[in-house]
Amino acid sequence: MNDSLIYLDNAATSWPKPPAVGQAVLRFMEEAGANPGRSAHRLSVEAARRIYSAREAAAEIFNADPLQVAFTQNATLALNLALYGLLRAGDHVITSSIEHNSVMRPLRRMEKDGVEVSIIPCSPWGEFDPDDVRNALQPNTRMIVLTRSSNVTGTVLPIRRIGEIARRAGVLLLTDEAQTAGTFPIDMKADLIDLLAFTGHKGLYGPPGTGGLVVGERVNLKELQPLIQGGTGSRSEYEEQPVFMPDCLESGTPNGAGLAGLEAGIRWVLEKGIPTIRQHEMQLCSQLMDGISAIEGVTMVGTREVLLRTAVVSFTIDGLQPSEVGQRLDEEYGILCRVGLHCAPAAHRTWGSFPAGTVRFSIGVFNTSAQIESALAAIRQIAKRNH
Ligand code: ALA
């Protein structure tokens, strides 16, 4: 690891990972590298056992049951499985104006195929009124799909209140937890979530290529059309896809080594405790926001209220393109962040930062207060040089 780097791109993927994650990947390859659930020999059984153990860990962190967890390669695939799996022409779906393209692009495509889409606006200050969702309900509304937290500004949406609205209306609630799994308390049952999409490589500190869709009991599996069909190692005598979880959504050889790493990441997060992780990240986030708001010529976007956000801070510097700022931060200061539109043009329109985008710092558990001070000093210098 390069200690001189300051990594502030944890919303894209977390780095570094706890050492246990890489060790678990290697152990899987060396000790259980066979194909799980396919063969009956000891290595295959061991691979299946380790993947089930990862399923238990994922279920624990979201308060679900292990067999409700279908692993995918990322949150995008999980969201696509839920959206394409359940929405049909003539259905209506409600979403927000701060979604990532992993939600917006499938919905825009499905609109062309006859799915009706309502987009509930979030204010530039992060206010999102659950009553607007309630008022948008129609007799043909099938689903509400919402990110829990904007990947651009960290703004958190009131998922539990929307869950209550969805339950009362008999509508499914799908949440995008790409930014919140591992960084924010999530309880599938208490939050009244029916489908929960997560990625493994951000706040859960697993390897890239891991994630999943948690499918709650209100989802009728007979209505959930699998996007991908194929070998599952189960019911091999049938040429039709099984209709039970997780096999209905998990075709083909899984990423066993990655999932072993994901389990290690989740167990590490569980042991540290999400409240402890969140407190650390939000302390640094406050330090960053206080510092940035005191710099002349620098404008932050989104809400400043720490209770209503995750540790993602977006800003612009007068007279400079975000890409120029990002390049200077990297080349001159060794500070790594993400600039531009963050695959979320709708969100940037909401925050008023479209089309140029922003410079985004996203904090992880391994960042320190001293690193935030260095990042602030760098922004001060860049902003000053530009005046
Ligand atoms: N969606 C990820 C991000 O916000 C990749 O950077």
Supply the pLDDT for residue 387: 65
Ligand 1 atom closest to the CA of 100, numbered from 1: 1
Q: Which atom of ligand 1 is nearest to the CA of 12?
A: 6
Question: 382 CA to middle of ligand 1, Å?
Answer: 25
pLDDT at position 304 is 75
In angstroms, how far apart are the furthest CA atoms of the chain? 72
Centroid of ligand 1 to alpha carbon of 343 (angstroms):
7
Taking the C-alpha atoms of residue 137 and residue 147, their distance in angstroms, rounded to an integer, is 18
Mutation test of ligand 1: which of 179, 310, 339, 361 has the most ligand atoms closer than 8 Å to its C-beta?
Answer: 179
* pLDDT over 70 (residue 2): no
Residue (of 371, 203, 348) closest to 288 by Cα position: 371
The predicted pLDDT at position 37 comes to 85
Mean pLDDT of 225-243: 94
Q: Which residue has the least CA distance to atom 1 on ligand 1? A: 12
Mutate to test the pocket of ligand 1, among 9, 15, 100, 105 (most ligand atoms within 8 A of CB): 100
Give residue 1's pLDDT. Answer: 52
Residue whose pair of structure tokens reads 């067999």 in the numeric block: 67
Q: In what order do the strands lie in the sheet with 141-147?
A: 69-72, 211-215, 195-199, 172-176, 141-147, 92-96, 116-120
Q: Which residues line ligand 1 (CB under 6 A)?
A: 11-12, 100, 151, 338, 342-343
Quote the ligand 1 centre to 10 CA distance (angstroms): 9
User: Which residue puts its alpha carbon closest to atom 2 of ligand 1?
Assistant: 12
* pLDDT value at residue 308: 83
Interval between CA 48 and ligand 1 midpoint (Å): 31
Between the CA atoms of 319, 288, 180 and 182, what dihedral angle is there, to the nearest 10 degrees?
Answer: 140
The answer to whether the Cα torsion of 364, 367, 373, 375 is positive or negative is negative
Instruction: Look up the pTM and report it.
Output: 0.97
The 10s digit of each residue's pLDDT in 195-230 is 999 999 999 999 999 999 999 999 999 999 999 999
Cα(132)–Cα(73) distance, rounded to whole angstroms?
A: 33
CB atoms near residue 55 (< 10 Å)? 23
Q: How far is 16 from 12, CA to CA, in rounded Å? A: 12
Q: How far is it, in rounded angstroms, from Cα 21 to Cα 3? A: 19
Q: Compute the distance from residue 158 Cα to the ligand 1 centre, in Å.
A: 21
Taking each helix axis from N to C end, the angle separating 19-31 and 256-272, rounded to the nearest 10 degrees, works out to 150
Which two structure tokens, joined as six digits, stand for 84?
Answer: 């394409």
Q: How far is the CA of 80 from the centre of ligand 1 (A)?
A: 16
Write the pLDDT tens digit of every residue in 43-74: 999 999 999 999 999 999 999 999 999 999 99
Tally the C-alpha atoms within 13 A of residue 93's C-alpha that lie toward its C-beta: 27
Q: What's the pLDDT band for 385 if we cut at 50, 70, 90?
A: confident
Ligand 1: which of 76, 314, 343, 362 to mutate, most ligand atoms within 8 Å of CB? 343
Tens digit of pLDDT for each residue in 132-149? 999 999 999 999 999 999
Give residue 18 CA to ligand 1 midpoint distance, Å. 20
State the burial class of residue 251 (Cβ atoms within 10 Å of its Cβ: 0-12, 13-18, 19+). middle
Measure CA 20 to chain center: 22
Task: Report how far ligand 1's centroid is from the alpha carbon of 35 (Å).
Answer: 31
pLDDT exceeds cutoff 70 at 106: yes
- The C-alpha atoms of residue 195 and residue 62 are separated, in whole angstroms, by 11
| Nearest residue by C-alpha to atom 6 in ligand 1 | 12
What is the band of 38 on the pLDDT scale with cuts at 50, 70, 90? confident
Whose C-alpha lies nearest to ligand 1, atom 5? 12
Q: Specify the pLDDT at position 39.
A: 87
List of residues 6+ apart from 11 with CB closer than 8 A? 151, 179, 202, 312, 338, 342, 360, 362
Alpha carbon of 173 to ligand 1 centroid (Å) = 22
Tell me the per-residue pLDDT of 313-327, one tens digit each, with 9 for 90 and over: 999 999 999 999 999
**Is pLDDT at 233 greater than 80 in this prediction?**
yes
| Predicted local confidence at residue 4, as pLDDT | 87
